[in-house]
Chain A
Amino acid sequence: MKILRVLALGWAMHFKMLSRSAFDGVLGVVWPLFFATTAFFMFRAGAPSSTLLYASLGASVMGIWSATSVAASSALQRERWSGTLELLVGVPTHFALVLMPITIAMSTIGIYSMAATLLWGRFLFGIDLHIVHPVLFVLAIPATIASIGMLGFLLSVSVVRYRTAWALGNAMEYPVWLVCGFLVPLSLLPGFVRPISWALAPTWGIRAIRESALGGSPLPDLGVCCALGLGYGTLGVLLVETVLRSARRTATLSLT
């Protein structure tokens, strides 16, 4: 119960803080819209109109990853700059439980971008959103957000010793958009990319969202998406232990 409380309160507090940030809040909504708009124009000019909904759903998830990649990669650095990292590490609660809600709050901010992209597509490009399995659609969204948040958690822990981790997170934005098939069918990508796509939860998340909206069986995709999210979480927790032990031993926790 205490764990759930830490997670819920941490998530709510960071979600509120991020919502008030011009960079994470406003730009988080506007930035993916630029790419979504370009993609809508491209699909409208060259492809059959039926692909516009495919593109719209994919573009809407792009914002969730955008909200997570840069922010999560620099999450620990941000705590360092604020002088709160030592305090967070020093509290009796496991540090993973402190960091996890932060990255999930970051991916949750992407919901604004998702809604904005779908509305943008509806009102400016006339893309109607007919959802075949509404319940599964509603389930697929939080599952995708949570698993992307967990990927962000793993990312934030992995790059803890990288002082300019935001640049790495920034550079990972386009590759994940591409490799996870947000706008491009995976069949168009070279064969060696497929295993990378399969190992990334957003691939399965967008598949579940598309299958539930366009018709199909999203449950297996949803299952893989959640399982990968749990896998990232477990790996992240193990990594947190190693990273913190190393930082304590070498007294490098607060170094920037």
Chain B
Amino acid sequence: MRVFFVGGLLSYRALFNWINPWVLIPSFLIAPLFQILLFAYIGRAAHLESDKFYVIGNALQYAAIPCLFAMGNTIVNEKRQQTLGAVLATPARRIPLFVGRALPVMANGMLVAAFAFVAGGALLGISVPLGAVAPLALVIVLTAFSCTGLGLITAAVGLRVVDTAVFGNILFGLLLIFCGVNVPLDQLPGWMSTTAQALPLTHGIEAARRLADGASVSRVGGLLAAEAAIGTAYIVLGYTLLRVVEFESRRLATLDRA
């Protein structure tokens, strides 16, 4: 439990070098608002959807930024500071070691999405039913959870490559296009909307839009369950990949070489 909670928090504070107001404010507070404004205005120019559609989609999608980059940083920066070998040499169990690092990242993703949702909504003057606030908070938790699963995969890639920034940005861009963030899924080609069903965010965003339109939690239960299941699958996949890459790094002595 100590490795999971204390180790995770220490690792986040020590290795995620974005927790500095000079990075945090522009990256987590300003950028998501302008992404919302950008797509809301493109939506107005294209006469496609309402502002609410873009606020929900982009606010939730922005949870992916801390989830992808913070998870990557907790591994890559460990390597950069030449402490990764020591960490992996410890007898600590790997599940609390790796998954514990994901918990603060998930909390970060939730806060970013919640801020973007509230501030973006206030800027564009959208409102949601009072009864939808708690279920929307649950959606934010679930989407941050599933994005953190994808972040674990970024972390595994970080064991083999020098910098995860390019990979993280590419994943973020793919989520932007595929997950119905700004384009309704029925307007995307069939193969893209089918792929979207297996990605984090897609079901969460859909659930949030329905809740904001007044649907009850029971009506979106299936979507919430799907988002949770996808998140769990990505966590398992990310953790497995981390173990495989760790094993391969030991076998091939590539841990410090990359």
Q: Which residues of A contact B (CB under 8 A)?
A: 22-23, 26-27, 30-31, 33-35, 37-39, 41-47, 51, 162-164, 167-168, 170-171, 173-175, 177-178, 183-185, 188-189
Q: How far is the CA of A46 from the CA of B42 in the complex (A)?
A: 10
Known: A170-B26, A178-B41, A184-B44. A41 touches B163 (CB 8 A): no
- 8 other A-B residue contacts (CB within 8 Å) besides A167-B26, A183-B38, A184-B45: A27-B170, A38-B181, A42-B39, A162-B22, A167-B18, A174-B35, A178-B37, A188-B41
Whether A189 contacts B182 by the Cβ 8 Å rule is no
Cβ contacts under 8 Å, A183 to chain B: 38, 41-42, 45
Does B34 belong to the interface (CB within 8 Å)? yes
Does B23 belong to the interface (CB within 8 Å)? yes
- Classify the secondary structure of A's interface with B: helix
Q: How far is the CA of A46 from the CA of B48 in the complex (A)?
A: 5
Using an 8 Å CB-CB cutoff, how does the interface string of B9-49 with A read, 1 for contact, 0 for none?
A: 00000000010101100110011001101110111111111
Across the interface, A171 reaches (CB within 8 A) one of B26, B43, B173, namely B26
Which of the listed residues A34, A42, A164 has the most CB atoms from chain B within 10 Å of its own CB? A42
Known: A174-B35, A174-B38. A42 touches B170 (CB 8 A): no
Whether A37 contacts B38 by the Cβ 8 Å rule is no
Known: A34-B173, A174-B35, A188-B41. A45 touches B46 (CB 8 A): yes
Query: Nearest 7 CB-CB pairs, A to B?
Result: A34-B173, A46-B48, A171-B26, A174-B34, A46-B46, A45-B187, A167-B23
Whether B176 contacts A31 by the Cβ 8 Å rule is no
Across the interface, A38 reaches (CB within 8 A) one of B18, B34, B47, B183, namely B183
For this complex, 18 residue pairs linking A to B, each with C-beta atoms less than 8 Å apart, are A34-B177, A38-B177, A39-B42, A41-B177, A41-B183, A43-B46, A46-B43, A46-B48, A46-B49, A51-B46, A163-B22, A164-B22, A171-B27, A178-B38, A183-B45, A184-B42, A185-B45, A188-B45
Whether A167 contacts B45 by the Cβ 8 Å rule is no
Across the interface, B46 reaches (CB within 8 A) one of A47, A162, A171, A178, namely A47
Does B85 belong to the interface (CB within 8 Å)? no
Whether B23 contacts A164 by the Cβ 8 Å rule is yes
Q: Which residues of B contact A (CB under 8 A)?
A: 18, 20, 22-23, 26-27, 30-31, 34-35, 37-39, 41-49, 163, 165-166, 169-170, 172-174, 176-177, 181-184, 187-188
Known: A175-B34, A188-B41. A42 touches B26 (CB 8 A): no
Whether A45 contacts B20 by the Cβ 8 Å rule is no
Across the interface, B27 reaches (CB within 8 A) one of A33, A43, A170, namely A170
Q: How far is the CA of A37 from the CA of B166 in the complex (A)?
A: 18
Cβ contacts under 8 Å, B163 to chain A: 22-23
Q: How far is the CA of A90 from the CA of B174 in the complex (A)?
A: 45
Residue of B whose beta carbon sits closest to that of A177: B38
Whether B177 contacts A37 by the Cβ 8 Å rule is yes
Q: How far is the CA of A70 from the CA of B258 in the complex (A)?
A: 25
Shortest distance from the beta carbon of A34 to any chain B beta carbon, whole Å: 3
Cβ contacts under 8 Å, B41 to chain A: 178, 183-184, 188-189
Residue of A whose beta carbon sits closest to that of B18: A167
Residue of B whose beta carbon sits closest to that of A124: B189
Q: How far is the CA of A42 from the CA of B49 in the complex (A)?
A: 9
Q: How far is the CA of A27 from the CA of B166 in the complex (A)?
A: 6
Shortest distance from the beta carbon of B154 to any chain A beta carbon, whole Å: 15
Q: How far is the CA of A46 from the CA of B41 in the complex (A)?
A: 13
Whether A34 contacts B47 by the Cβ 8 Å rule is no
Shortest distance from the beta carbon of A158 to any chain B beta carbon, whole Å: 14
Q: How far is the CA of A163 from the CA of B26 in the complex (A)?
A: 13
Q: How far is the CA of A183 from the CA of B42 in the complex (A)?
A: 6
Q: How far is the CA of A183 from the CA of B48 in the complex (A)?
A: 14
Q: How far is the CA of A208 from the CA of B173 in the complex (A)?
A: 29
Cβ contacts under 8 Å, B37 to chain A: 174, 178
Cβ contacts under 8 Å, A175 to chain B: 34
Whether B38 contacts A170 by the Cβ 8 Å rule is no
Residue of A whose beta carbon sits closest to that of B24: A167
Shortest distance from the beta carbon of B31 to any chain A beta carbon, whole Å: 5
Whether B42 contacts A26 by the Cβ 8 Å rule is no
